[in-house]
Structure 1
Amino acid sequence: MTLTEYANFSNYAVASATVVLALAWLASVAQWAFGSVASRSGESVGAAERTPVMASSGGAYDGVSGGGSPTADDDSARGGVAEERSEVAGRIAIALTILGFLILLAGVVARGLAAERVPWGNMYEFAITSMVVVLAGYLVMIRLMHIQWLAPLVLAFVTVVLGLSMTVYVPAGPLVPALDSYWLVIHVASAMVAGAGFLVGAGASILYLIKARAEARGPVSGYLGRLPSAAAMDQLAYRVTAFAFPVWTFAALISGPIWAEHAWGRPWGWDPKEVWAFITWVAYAGYLHARATAGWKGKAAAILALVAFATFIFNFVGVNLFFPGLHSYAK
């Protein structure tokens, strides 16, 4: 294949992966919708079995003479069907996520072949490649930590990013001189790995806030009832952030300054990208420090994690689009 053919294949693959992952998101939403129906049906059956039914001269069910309550039987049947559909939708969501990941991976590899370099030399390439890293990390965590309950949030984020990446699309081409360094591989790859961890932590924090508020009001049912406990989600957010933070430290405060020294003759220059990378580091450092020393958990910690993630997103979107600087070539 020629370089142009590789580039065209990459474009088609990225577009196709976006569609497949959008379908995976719909399947994940259906999984939880059917699961919510199953949960409510199960609760209705339990309530019906606990409620005695008065005998009547009309021969109504008396709760003793045998057979289940017609209403309870109907609810049980509906719950069973809904539960089965939920499981099928979940399997479809995972299958489509894997398919979308493989298609997107092929598109990213083709982009690299078309450009004859690593495929993250500008904002468009960073977006599509980072989504490959996010999906890879998410699929591994499904296997190891059973986090498929995060699918609606993770898949929505990935689909939106891939769709928006088309707005900053640039044709495949050579790197600008400042980027033509092996530090491009080290620095950007570590930033993408950290970003994947921050995304999972932010998703868990969002659902934690929703679940914790529902638990405070009483028994939780439906979609929220099928989520892990609020405490478990809070712990997951902390664990993945604690993993991602040292990786981000290496990307922002070690490899970045070293590369800046090689490219521009100074390790720090108050460039907007450098400043916001440091702000993100401070925000996540504050989150981890508060949890480790002040015993912060729950709502305050989750809000701080989301603020930190917002600074991370702004660093890679807002700074590139709205602030002129030495990193403006990344558009």
Structure 2
Amino acid sequence: MNTESLSGTFLLIAFILYTLSFIVFGIAVTGKKWSSRDPERHLKRWGRGGLVLTIVGFASQLGYFFTRWYAAGHIPVSNMFEFLTFLSMMIALAFVIVYAIYRVAVLGMFAMPVCVIILAYALVFPPDIQPLIPALQSYWLKIHVTTAAFSEAFFAVGFAAGLMYLLRVVNFKGTSKADRRERRGVEVVIFVVFTVVAFVVTSFVFKGIGYEAKFKQEITKIDQNGKENVTTSTVDYVLPPIVKPYNSTVETMKPFLGMEEPLFTSPSWMNGINAGRKLNTFLWSLIAGLILYGLVRLILRKQVGAAIQPAMNGMDPEDLDEISYRAIAIGFPLFTLGALIFAMIWAHEAWGRFWGWDPKEVWALITWLYYTAYLHFRLSRGWQGRKSAWMAVIGFVVVMFTNVGVNLIIAGLHSYAGV
């Protein structure tokens, strides 16, 4: 077995162990009710089991990280696959650190799924080892990306604890306008999580069956002399094309459920060769998320949040609020160093300027300002409880858009990370 294959094996083992740890933490929390002898002992015993699985999974992923580093010849954080796998590893580490402080087993039931989902999402991207482009051939790659990812891992734990707080305190039986609004907000967050899970599963299914479609697209550009230049490019789809690229023709397309050609054409104002494919991916994510969420609602016959809430009984909301705040308080200075200060120093070395209003830079600044506002409102305005929890939940959505959405959707100097 070569080093690259060995790293893949380590990663698969880590994925399995993280999934098992989530299941064990779930048994620790839900099984406490039917453990008639000593519920607290049951919770501690299974909680320790979940922690051990998490630590062993982290060790396995660490093995993946260093073997891939050896095989690639550079630190494996240079594209979406590598960055997201590293982020998932840092989330596992951040969870272990927070768990060691607070010893709250129920946190594993929410933090570990975040770790598993991000790792599964990473596997959607091509795992091939790629050479570093010149802009990334710097020791600042190690410092900037690893510090930023470690900080965002604590934001992920803060998100998990914030969501737990909301599930604990929201009144799912209330009839007031405020209660209904909070219930809808929680369900929207859960639906977004379901959408990501459904997209990952859908992508694996179509990859497994070898589905593919290709479109030939003609792009017309007018140069400075007014002359038209027509270039032809090929766009590859791995999901059945509901939407085809604008001004394109089908080159190859496997029929799917009787659909032998795309249903729609992407709008002309959607610029970029991959605009149609991105719109198609968004539609598939939405459809798969609606199906998964609908099936779960049909099985539960109630809102998903209402079904999860009983697992929160016995948890002190103030403890959950404190965990969320402390995790974000740890992550914020690390994010300031890694995503702003170290990034600006590297930008000056690479491009001769500290700041250039690149989309990734702008969204990193937005993320920093958001969490600055979170800490300001928390410390000076007394925003605790619900307000703090909602900010923690929304903040991690901003983080993930900065990491994933900007790289994949908005063209800029950091677009190479979306490869």
* TM-score band, normalised by shorter chain: 0.7 to 0.9
What's the counterpart of residue 296 of structure 1? Answer: 383
Find the aligned partners of 1:225 and 1:253 in 2 and give their Cα distance.
40
| Aligned-residue RMSD, C-alpha | 2.2
Q: Deviations over 1:175-228 (max 9, x none)?
A: 1110111111111111012111111111111111122236998xxx9522232x
Q: For 2:393 and 2:362, locate their aligned partners in 1 and report how far apart those are by CA, in whole Å.
A: 19
Match of 2:244 in 1: none
Higher Cα Rg, which structure: 1
Q: State the Cα distance separating 1:154 from its structure 2 match.
A: 1.3
Q: More displaced, 198-207 or 80-89?
A: 80-89
Shift of 1:284: 0.5
The answer to whether 1:152 aligns with 2:109 is: yes
Q: Contact 2:78–2:136 at 8 Å: present in 1 too?
A: yes
How many residue pairs get aligned? The number is: 284
Give secondary structure in 1 for the equivalent of 2:127: coil
Counterpart mapping for 1:184-203 below 5 A: 184-203=141-160
3-state SS of the aligned residue for 2:99?
Answer: helix
* Counterpart in the other structure of 2:78: 121
1:95 is matched by which residue type in structure 2?
V
Q: Distance in 2 between matches of 1:201 and 1:87?
A: 22
Q: CA deviation at 1:18?
A: 0.8
Aligned to 2:90: 133
Q: CA deviation at 1:88?
A: 4.4
Q: Matches of 2:84 and 2:350 in 1, distance apart?
A: 23
Give CA deviations for 1:283-327 in whole Å, capped at 9, x if unaligned.
101111111211111111211222221111111111111111111
Unmatched tracts of structure 1, length 5 or more? 39-78
2:94 and 2:157 in contact (8 A); partners too: no
Change (3 A) 1:81 1:246: closer
Aligned: 1:164 with 2:161: no
Identity among equivalent pairs (%): 34
Evaluate the alpha carbon distance shift between residue 301 and residue 319 of structure 1 in structure 2; reply closer, same or farther with a 3 A threshold.
same
**For the structure 1 residues 90 and 253, does the alpha-carbon distance in structure 2 shift closer, same or farther, using more than 3 Å as the test?**
closer
**Per the alignment, do residues 324 and 215 of structure 1 end up closer, same or farther by CA in structure 2, a change over 3 Å counting?**
closer
Structure 1 pair 299–89 and aligned structure 2 pair: CA distance change class (3 A):
same
Equivalent residue in structure 2 for 1:261, among 348, 353, 356: 348
Q: Distance in 2 between the 1:36 and 1:194 partners?
A: 35
Work out which of the residue numbers 14, 30, 35 in structure 1 matches 2:11: 14
Q: Which structure features the higher share of helix residues?
A: 1
Partner of 2:225: none
2:61 equivalent in structure 1: 104
- Pick one of 240, 243, 247 that aligns with 2:327: 240
Matched, 1:224 2:312: yes
User: Aligned pair 1:23/2:110, yes or no?
Assistant: no
Which letter does structure 2 place at the counterpart of 1:93?
Answer: G
Are 2:183 and 1:95 equivalent residues in the alignment? no
TM-score normalised according to structure 1 size: 0.80
Unmatched segments (≥5 aa) in structure 2? 175-308
Distance 2:24 2:343 in 1: 40
Structure 2 counterpart of 1:223, one-letter code = A
Per-residue CA deviation, residues 218-247 of structure 1 (Å, 9 max, x unaligned), is xxx9522232x1112112222221221111
Q: How does 1:174-189 map to 2 (within 5 A)?
A: 174-189=131-146
The residue aligned with 2:212 is none
Counterpart for residue 404 of structure 2: 317
The TM-score normalised by the length of structure 2 is: 0.64
